[in-house]
């Protein structure tokens, strides 16, 4: 028999190696796939669909830029159970102004079922514990009926490129899952915005709002909140509220139903290289005071626009967001120490932290419910209770009615009443509360003249019109 060449011996060996490598790859892919399936099975019971009926604020793309304007609608989104006692986190924009909130639990898996179509999960009525417009987070409560909760991760530990899964109900398709990575760990959508987001390329679409981003261990790293899209659908630019922010907001909502933030009467911005060059500063980063609000402790302490803030309570300030976070986190009434530089001089001032006033959108969220609607005027109103007054600045009178928001299709077409107005009298009759306003309007008929005394932006005025 003739001898075989070396190539004839190598061919079977190479074929064997290829087969082994292919098998190894197949096993690795199979193992990865099983890991995702196992993770999905563990997360699945904690993800819910949220449906809210009532009123919602106008979006930025709607035809008005006026804050505190609501329209009627039914909205749907997603949520995640964070406590087996019945606490669910979702987005504030999903439930703002809701008259009725329902959540649909994930269906219980039954290995005996053979149908590919899954049964529908239980539907529960949810109550709103509280919401926070600034972070777009809301806390709901449902009866604790055998619920499965997910833990919150430490979002400061996540890294760019980390694998995550996004759960939610995109376009109403309940309990869907998509796969992606962390694109950015701390994305600001606007310069100096105190809010940061986790950016991901995991497909997120309308309806996914409020659903969780989870890591490989099944922990919540963020709550899906918004997308940037030219088409209205997923383009790989999804954003989630980091879990550490969620944890802080949930703790406050659970305790008091609202989030309290402090301020010291300063507006600041981040120093840019151009600004540093123009002012011949020694560093191209940091924080500069852009405005000092009148009649605040900052003004009384002599802080001036143009002062450079070096440190807060001994901690170096690198940008405006860092400063704002370090101001609104300390307890109300505490004093923070600011180290400033002005004309190459170093100054130290102590400023007491006071509660920050609510924006019109936050006040609108408080009152946008059916029971607060005065249909004759097309406005949502609130009594000036102590809790409501905490959100407002000084007022001229103790009694009155706050206009929290107004309907987009209000019968007062000239927009004579706006969110934030306070009604003190109707046709010279004092209005002490919402009940008094309803009673006064009930005595009038369509076409009767009405003259309201209101306070708007600390100034008194009269608004006159015929009752629709």
Point out the residues that are catalytic: 93, 136, 209
CA–CA separation, 297 and 354 (whole Å): 9
Backbone angles phi, psi at 412, to 5 degrees: -90, 90
DSSP letters spanning 149-172: --PBP-GGG--TT-EEEEEE-GGG
Q: Which residue has the tokens 């909502």?
A: 253
Task: For residue 405, give Cα distances in angstroms to 233, 361, 374.
Answer: 30, 8, 11
Number of helices followed by number of strands (H, E) in the chain: 9, 27
DSSP state of 439: H
Q: CB under 8 Å to 278, separation ≥6 — which residues?
A: none
Tokens of 132: 């926070």
Q: CB-based contacts of 293: which residues, under 8 Å, 6+ apart?
A: 265, 266, 267, 299
Task: Work out the number of other CB atoms within 10 angstroms of the CB of residue 134.
Answer: 18
Instruction: Answer for the pair 425, 452: CB distance below 8 angstroms, yes or no.
Output: yes
Alpha helices in 61-141 (DSSP H): 92-95
């Amino acid at each position: 028999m003739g001898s075989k060449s070396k190539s004839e011996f190598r061919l079977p060996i190479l074929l064997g190696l290829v087969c082994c490598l292919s098998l190894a790859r197949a096993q690795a892919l199979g193992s990865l796939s099983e890991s995702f399936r196992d993770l999905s099975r563990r997360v699945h019971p904690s993800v819910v669909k949220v449906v809210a009926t009532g009123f919602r604020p106008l979006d930025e793309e709607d035809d008005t830029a006026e804050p505190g304007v609501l329209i009627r609608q039914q909205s749907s989104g997603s949520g995640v159970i964070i406590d087996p006692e019945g606490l669910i986190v979702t987005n504030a924009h999903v439930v703002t102004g809701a008259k009725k909130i329902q959540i649909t639990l994930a269906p219980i898996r039954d290995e005996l079922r053979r149908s590919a179509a899954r049964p529908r999960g239980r539907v529960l009525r949810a109550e709103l514990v509280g919401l926070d417009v600034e972070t777009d987070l809301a806390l709901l409560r449902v009866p604790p009926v055998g619920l499965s909760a997910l833990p919150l991760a430490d979002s400061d530990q996540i890294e760019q490129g980390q694998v995550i899964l996004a759960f939610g109900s995109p376009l109403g398709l309940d309990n869907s899952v998509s796969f992606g990575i962390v694109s950015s760990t701390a994305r600001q959508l606007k310069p100096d915005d105190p809010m940061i987001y986790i950016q991901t390329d995991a497909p997120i679409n309308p309806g996914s709002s409020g659903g969780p981003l989870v890591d490989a261990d099944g922990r919540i790293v963020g709550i899906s909140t918004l997308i940037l899209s030219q088409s209205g659908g997923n383009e790989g630019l999804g954003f989630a509220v980091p879990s550490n922010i969620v944890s802080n907001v949930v703790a406050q909502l659970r305790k008091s139903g609202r989030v309290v933030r402090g301020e010291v009467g300063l507006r600041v911005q981040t120093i840019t290289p151009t600004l540093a060059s123009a002012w011949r500063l020694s560093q191209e980063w940091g924080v500069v005071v852009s405005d000092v609000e009148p009649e605040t402790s900052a003004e009384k302490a002599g802080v001036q626009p143009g002062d450079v803030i070096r440190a807060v309570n001994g901690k170096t300030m690198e940008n405006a967001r860092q400063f704002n976070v370090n101001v609104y986190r300390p307890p109300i009434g505490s004093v923070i120490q600011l180290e400033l530089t002005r004309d190459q001089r170093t100054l130290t001032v102590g400023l007491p932290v006071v509660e920050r006033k609510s924006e019109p959108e936050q006040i609108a969220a408080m009152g946008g419910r059916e029971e607060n609607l005065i249909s004759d005027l097309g406005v949502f109103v609130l009594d000036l209770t102590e809790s409501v007054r905490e959100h407002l600045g000084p007022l001229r009178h103790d009694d009155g009615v706050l206009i929290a928001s107004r309907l987009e299709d209000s019968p007062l077409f000239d927009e004579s009443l706006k969110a934030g107005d306070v009604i003190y009298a109707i046709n010279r009759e004092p209005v002490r509360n919402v009940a008094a306003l309803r009673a006064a309007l009930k005595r009038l008929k369509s076409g009767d003249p009405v003259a309201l005394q209101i306070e708007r932006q600390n100034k008194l005025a009269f608004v006159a019109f015929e009752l629709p």
